[in-house]
């Protein structure tokens, strides 16, 4: 090996760099451990305060040196990032509403063709892969559009678009302009969200734009409050100020509303009474007019709405009264009815009714909200908008109430002074409205100069901080809705770390011992190279800023199992050269050289499948692909160069190196198995297994996870062993449909439902979770409240441990992406093998084996989905497994094909082709079995000791390794051989029969 000194220096320097990169993780962990202990002492059991104290402590030491003059903040940016499944936290994908953006660009056009195109685009998005704009334009044109097209003055040729769109433009020209505007709005939304997240306080947040359809990925490691995060991200932050109409003017109107409702409202019980009465007319008269007091119609409005009783003494009061939040939809429907709107007095002609921020009644525990009437004009314009806000911060009022102080800039200063002056003179309230919710409606005592105001509203400290954050970051250009969400409790993440480390150590110990057992001192050198390889993998992950996930740990452990493959190939070739009588020095040199082609081909094919997985996958799947690619690269370097350095260094003084032990020296030597002679039997066995799998797929299908069908999944831990079927029956009664499975231990259940999955928003998510809690409350501790069930804490042992939601639209996209990932990997590998081996028959054999392996894995998952005691859902992790199986199968196949190509070169023709193939298969058998057994043991360690969430992934890989090893011997090579024969490359019949 040339340039040994340079390689040695590079390895040492690279190793030191990796240690340096990993040192940041060590020192930040030390600092965070101290912060956690200090916050725990200060908070005295209050989890919300603990979070604040811990963040404040870390903020206070942010600029303090913790290592070699490097501050905590600097080190934090360079530490090894842990994914949500290891650290706990929240991961969401937000959909910025393109419909809202288009509506705004059209100046809220009411053009029928425009509205119909938007509605049609909404429908097309559920199944299509086009952008929303493409579907909108296609729908507009398909429905005939309007006479002037999209450039109509009633659509996009308006004041909002200015001279960007003229009424002479074609639809295609308008579409180009609209795309630019949409891209700018999405970029604005991205920056707004990033500013909000930066102020939120989590470490190492991740935000990235996904594609061109307005989707934004947000990852918040360590975040624990899904409700709070949802409010922070989905809040549009449209701040407005209105003149509030006094209760003295509004409540008399509400009395009239109640009278109108008395005459027109019939409750469901009354309707039932009517159907049971012979004379319907008499029944109506009895109900509306009343035969006596007991039969009089009740007050439809005032039974669910409590008016402000002080309105006569203080007619300027903005607060009209209150109602339970569950009754708000009914009251709102009443107030928006056409006949009731017609009864409005002139003073309320353009007023709009808006509810205040809900608060919890401490006595009853019910949520209550107040009603306000906001003075407006025909277009609903406020007296002042929040565009003039320059800053906001959480503070405390003189009475100790938590408030948000807001500062205005520019024209806002004079506007606010004018508004407050009128308020003080007329004694009218100023309603402060954020996203159509009234937070407060104070009456100014005097004109307020300087551009400052205060927002109050029964805030907690965190709520006020979040409100200040969104006000400072600015409003979103369109509504944002969470279409995919994942919440992982920190205790579940810690369990994942513990199980991941245990499986990692056991797998590593086995590999190290096996290499020494099988190859003696040479195996010990390979172990040292493997240890260096692990250091390189973690160092590169830290240096690149990659995220280590649970599947990522699985990828590293799998890499350990597969990394021995390169050393095994090298050692087996060296042993062959030694058996030919070569000197140890020459055997080592030739062994490394001869193995290089097989090593490169095998690892490049696996790398290509990992690259496809990285390009098409998201989140943890990308983590798996990242570690696999890094592991392949570092494994190659360590096997080819680091191992060689130790072997050459050991043998330079004439020391003998056997590359085997007494027990393994003669294993798999002089094998003479007739693989091709058994190919018809193998075809028959594979055919039967595949047909059985296809039959099962056609009849019972696969257990599709919510990644592909949409839904909500809750992982819940109980304080006792649970019967999944019993809980499922309970949840089905509440939700109509549900699937409940044991998840890991028998005190943990994974509850999946499609209940209300077509509805999105924080309110819907909260309602569904509350309904789930109510449904399963009988199985939880008697004193457990909803907050205790829902909120993640570091020491929680019972309650919700994980939440995962996928909306139906993104589920369809995930499914399509997975399909393209599999197809793409097959095409790429087919072309690579065709390029390397120059015969399409080799490519066909490899792809046939891959199809064989994939069909068998799918068949096994279909047949055993209801039998195995663990989760066998088809999700993104399963697609990762399928692609890894493809890579592993090709790895095996390429090694065999490489040996066949070598034999063909030695013999110079295809004469005796069958015999050459059998010789090649027998010569690689030791390597095939060694690698397969090692990898299988590693996978089994993860399967039995790893986290339950990746057990299905591991099972798929175990099946894949078994069938991949089989197919490289009995499918890939025989198919290649048979197709070569059919193309007319005739063999000598006697030699073929001998083969």
**Does residue 205 lie in a domain region?**
no
**Does residue 576 lie in a domain region?**
yes
**Does residue 208 lie in a domain region?**
no
Mean pLDDT, rounded, for 583-591: 87
Q: How far apart are CA 597 and CA 594, in angstroms?
A: 7
**Does residue 88 lie in a domain region?**
no
* 618 and 720 part of one domain: no
* 655 and 779 part of one domain: no
Q: For residue 619, give every residue at least 6 positions away whose Cβ sits within 8 Å of its Cβ, in sequence order, or none.
A: 83, 91, 219, 486, 549, 876
* Closest of 125, 121, 24 to residue 80, by C-alpha: 24
Mean pLDDT, rounded, for 225-251: 84
Residue 382: C-alpha distances to residues 241, 378, 386 (Å): 6, 11, 10
Residue 301 has pLDDT above 50, yes or no: yes
- Count of domains forming the chain: 5
Least confident stretch, 122-126, 596-600, 793-797, 903-907:
793-797
**Does residue 202 lie in a domain region?**
no
In this structure, are residues 377 and 350 in contact, taking their beta carbons and an 8 Å threshold?
yes
pLDDT grade for 354, boundaries at 50, 70 and 90: very high
**Does residue 180 lie in a domain region?**
yes
Q: For residue 266, give every residue at least 6 positions away whose Cβ sits within 8 Å of its Cβ, in sequence order, or none.
A: 274, 287
Give the model confidence (pLDDT) of 517-538 as tens digits: 988 888 899 999 989 999 999 9
Mean pLDDT, rounded, for 334-357: 89
Give the model confidence (pLDDT) of 564-575 as tens digits: 888 888 888 888
* Closest of 447, 446, 465, 418 to residue 455, by C-alpha: 465
Question: Which of residues 773, 806, 839 is at a domain's end?
Answer: 806
Token code pair at residue 717: 């831990």
Residue 793: per-residue pLDDT: 52
Q: b vs e for 481-518, b when ≥16 Cβ sit within 10 Å of the residue's Cβ?
A: bbbbbbbbbbbbbebbbebbeebbebbbebbbebbbeb
* 514 and 565 part of one domain: yes
Q: How far apart are CA 976 and CA 841, in angstroms?
A: 5
Q: How far apart are CA 188 and CA 200, in angstroms?
A: 19
Q: How far apart are CA 847 and CA 826, in angstroms?
A: 7
Q: How far apart are CA 882 and CA 212, in angstroms?
A: 28
| Residue 699 CB-density burial (10 A; 0-12 exposed, 13-18 middle, 19+ buried) | exposed
Residue 496: per-residue pLDDT: 67
Beta strands 430-434; 402-408: pairing state: unpaired
**Does residue 914 lie in a domain region?**
yes
Instruction: Out of 178-182, 492-496, 826-830, give the one with best mean pLDDT.
Output: 178-182
Q: How far apart are CA 676 and CA 682, in angstroms?
A: 9
Q: Give Cα 921 distance to the centre of its chain.
A: 43
Question: Which of residues 751, 773, 806 is at a domain's end?
Answer: 806
What mean pLDDT value characterizes the chain? 81
Q: How far apart are CA 20 and CA 30, in angstroms?
A: 16
Q: How far apart are CA 411 and CA 416, in angstroms?
A: 9
* 778 and 862 part of one domain: no
Q: What is the CATH number of the domain that holds 764?
A: 3.30.70
Strand order through the sheet with 89-96? 206-210, 215-221, 89-96, 480-488, 799-806, 711-717, 745-753, 739-743
* Cβ atoms within 10 Å, residue 39: 19
Residue 894 has pLDDT above 80, yes or no: yes
* 828 and 944 part of one domain: yes
Residue 177 has pLDDT above 50, yes or no: yes
* 846 and 976 part of one domain: yes
Least confident stretch, 53-62, 256-265, 721-730:
53-62
Beta strands 215-221; 81-82: pairing state: unpaired
Mean pLDDT, rounded, for 205-232: 79
pLDDT grade for 458, boundaries at 50, 70 and 90: low
In this structure, are residues 983 and 912 in contact, taking their beta carbons and an 8 Å threshold?
no
Residue 338: C-alpha distances to residues 260, 334, 335 (Å): 12, 9, 8
Give the model confidence (pLDDT) of 705-753 as tens digits: 777 778 888 888 898 888 888 898 899 888 887 888 887 778 888 888 8
Report residue 387: phi and psi, to 5°: -65, -15
Residue 257: per-residue pLDDT: 92
Structure letter (DSSP) for residue 333: H
pLDDT grade for 271, boundaries at 50, 70 and 90: very low
Residue 290: per-residue pLDDT: 40
* Cβ atoms within 10 Å, residue 309: 10
* 903 and 831 part of one domain: yes
* 694 and 562 part of one domain: yes
Q: How far apart are CA 222 and CA 220, in angstroms?
A: 6
Report residue 485: phi and psi, to 5°: -145, 145
DSSP-derived 3-state class of residue 809: helix
Structure letter (DSSP) for residue 239: E
What is the percent of the chain with per-residue pLDDT over 70, rounded to a whole number?
89
* 774 and 913 part of one domain: no
* 168 and 152 part of one domain: yes
DSSP secondary structure letters along 440-506: E-PBPSS---SSEEEEESS--HHHHHHHHHHHHH---SS-EEEEEEEEE-HHHHHHHHHHHHHHHHH
What is the H or E stretch that residue 726 is in?
Answer: helix 724-735
Residue 620: per-residue pLDDT: 64
pTM score over 0.75: no
Which one is predicted more confidently, 876 or 753? 753
* 782 and 861 part of one domain: no
Question: Which of residues 138, 163, 195 is at a domain's end?
Answer: 195
Q: What is the CATH number of the domain that holds 465?
A: 3.30.1360.200
Structure letter (DSSP) for residue 80: P
Q: How far apart are CA 498 and CA 482, in angstroms?
A: 31
* 782 and 818 part of one domain: no
Q: How far apart are CA 902 and CA 904, in angstroms?
A: 5
Least confident stretch, 70-79, 350-359, 454-463, 605-614:
454-463
Give the model confidence (pLDDT) of 368-394 as tens digits: 899 999 987 666 678 888 777 877 888
Range of the domain at 730: 711-806
Give the model confidence (pLDDT) of 824-856 as tens digits: 777 887 788 788 777 788 888 888 888 899 899
In this structure, are residues 924 and 671 in contact, taking their beta carbons and an 8 Å threshold?
no
**Does residue 281 lie in a domain region?**
no
Residue 204: per-residue pLDDT: 66
């Amino acid at each position: 090996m040339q340039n040994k000194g340079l390689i040695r220096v590079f390895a040492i320097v690279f190793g030191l760099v990796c240690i340096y990169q990993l040192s940041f993780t060590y020192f930040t962990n030390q600092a965070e451990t101290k912060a956690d202990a200090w916050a725990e002492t200060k908070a005295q059991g209050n989890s919300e305060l603990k979070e604040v104290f811990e963040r404040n402590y870390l903020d206070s030491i942010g600029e303090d040196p913790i290592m070699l003059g490097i501050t905590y903040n600097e080190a934090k940016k360079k530490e090894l990032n842990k994914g949500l499944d290891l650290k706990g936290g929240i991961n969401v994908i937000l959909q910025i509403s393109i419909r809202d953006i288009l509506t705004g660009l059209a100046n809220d056009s009411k053009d029928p063709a425009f509205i119909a195109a938007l509605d049609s685009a909404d429908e097309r998005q559920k199944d299509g892969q086009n952008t929303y704009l493409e579907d909108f334009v296609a729908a507009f044109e398909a429905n005939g559009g309007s006479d002037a097209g999209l450039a109509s003055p009633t659509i996009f040729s308006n004041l909002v678009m200015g001279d960007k769109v003229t009424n002479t433009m074609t639809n295609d020209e308008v579409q180009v302009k609209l795309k630019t505007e949409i891209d700018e709005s999405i970029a604005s939304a991205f920056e707004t969200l990033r500013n909000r997240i930066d102020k939120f306080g989590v470490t190492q947040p991740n935000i990235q734009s996904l594609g061109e359809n307005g989707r934004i990925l947000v990852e918040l490691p360590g975040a624990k409050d899904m409700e709070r995060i949802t409010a922070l991200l989905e809040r549009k932050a449209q701040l407005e100020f209105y003149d509030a109409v006094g209760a003295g003017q509004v409540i008399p109107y509400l009395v009239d509303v109640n009278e109108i409702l008395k005459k027109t409202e019939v409750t469901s019980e009354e309707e039932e009474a009517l159907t049971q009465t012979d004379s319907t007319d008499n029944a109506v008269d009895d109900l509306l007019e009343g035969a006596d007091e007991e039969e009089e119609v009740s007050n439809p409005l005032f039974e669910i709405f409590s008016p402000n009783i002080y309105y006569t003494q203080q007619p300027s009061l903005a607060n009209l009264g209150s109602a339970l939040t569950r009754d708000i939809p009914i009251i709102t429907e009443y107030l928006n009815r056409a006949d009731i709107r017609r009864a409005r007095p002139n003073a309320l002609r353009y007023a709009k009714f808006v509810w205040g921020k809900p608060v919890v009644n401490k006595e009853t525990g019910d949520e209550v909200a107040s009603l306000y009437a906001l003075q407006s004009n025909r277009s609903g314009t406020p007296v002042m908008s929040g565009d003039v806000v320059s800053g906001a911060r959480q503070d405390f009022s003189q009475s100790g109430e938590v408030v948000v102080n807001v500062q205005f800039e520019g024209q806002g200063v004079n506007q606010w002074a004018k508004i407050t002056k009128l308020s003080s003179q007329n004694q009218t309230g100023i309603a402060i409205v954020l996203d159509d919710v009234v937070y407060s409606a104070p009456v100014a005592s005097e004109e307020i100069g300087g551009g400052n105001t205060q927002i109050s509203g029964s805030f907690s400290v965190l709520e006020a901080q979040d409100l200040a954050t969104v006000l400072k970051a600015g409003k979103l250009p369109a509504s944002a809705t969470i279409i995919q969400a994942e919440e992982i409790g920190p205790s579940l993440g810690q369990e994942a770390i513990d199980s991941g480390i245990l499986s990692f150590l056991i797998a590593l110990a086995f590999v190290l011992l096996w290499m020494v057992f099988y190859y003696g001192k040479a195996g010990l050198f390979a172990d040292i190279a493997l240890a260096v390889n692990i250091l390189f993998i973690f160092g590169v992950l830290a240096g690149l800023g990659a995220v280590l996930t649970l599947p990522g740990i699985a990828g590293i452990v799998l890499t350990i199992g597969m990394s021995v493959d390169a050393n095994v190939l090298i050692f087996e070739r060296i042993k062959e050269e030694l058996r030919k009588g070569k000197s140890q020095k020459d055997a080592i040199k030739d062994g490394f050289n001869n193995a290089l082609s097989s090593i490169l081909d095998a690892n490049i094919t696996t790398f290509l499948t990992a690259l496809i997985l990285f390009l098409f996958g998201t989140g943890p799947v990308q983590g798996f692909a990242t570690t696999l690619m890094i592991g392949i690269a570092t494994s190659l370097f360590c096997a080819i160069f680091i191992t060689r350095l130790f072997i050459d260094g050991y043998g330079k003084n004439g020391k003998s190196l056997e590359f085997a032990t007494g027990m393994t020296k003669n294993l798999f030597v002089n094998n003479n198995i007739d693989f091709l002679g058994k190919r018809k039997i193998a075809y028959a066995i594979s055919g039967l297994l595949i047909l059985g799998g296809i039959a099962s797929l056609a009849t019972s299908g696969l257990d599709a996870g919510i990644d592909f069908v949409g839904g909500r999944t809750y992982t819940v831990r109980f304080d006792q062993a649970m019967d999944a079927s019993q809980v499922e029956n309970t949840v089905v009664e509440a939700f109509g449909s549900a699937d409940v499975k044991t998840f890991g231990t028998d005190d943990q259940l994974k509850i999946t439902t499609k209940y209300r999955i077509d509805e999105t928003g924080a309110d819907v998510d909260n309602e569904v979770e509350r309904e789930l809690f109510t449904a399963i409350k009988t199985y939880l501790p008697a004193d457990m409240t909803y907050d205790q069930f829902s909120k993640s804490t570091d020491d929680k042992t019972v309650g919700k441990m994980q939440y995962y939601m996928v909306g139906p639209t993104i589920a369809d996209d995930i499914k399509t992406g997975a399909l393209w990932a599999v197809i793409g990997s097959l095409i790429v590998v087919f072309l690579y093998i065709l390029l390397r081996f120059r015969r399409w028959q080799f490519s066909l054999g490899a792809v046939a084996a891959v199809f064989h392996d994939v069909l068998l894995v799918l068949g096994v998952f279909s047949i055993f989905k209801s039998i195995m005691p663990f989760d066998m859902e088809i999700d993104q992790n399963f697609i990762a497994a399928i692609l890894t199986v493809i890579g592993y199968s090709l790895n095996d196949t390429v090694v065999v094909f490489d040996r066949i190509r070598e034999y063909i070169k030695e013999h110079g023709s295809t004469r005796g082709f069958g015999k050459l193939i059998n010789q090649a298969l027998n010569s690689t058998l030791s390597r095939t079995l060694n690698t397969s057994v090692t990898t299988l043991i590693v996978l089994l360690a993860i399967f039995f000791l790893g986290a339950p969430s990746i057990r299905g992934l591991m099972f798929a890989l175990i099946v894949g390794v078994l069938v991949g090893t089989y197919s490289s011997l009995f499918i890939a090579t025989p198919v290649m051989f048979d197709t070569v024969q059919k193309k007319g490359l005739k063999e000598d019949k006697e030699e073929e029969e001998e083969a």
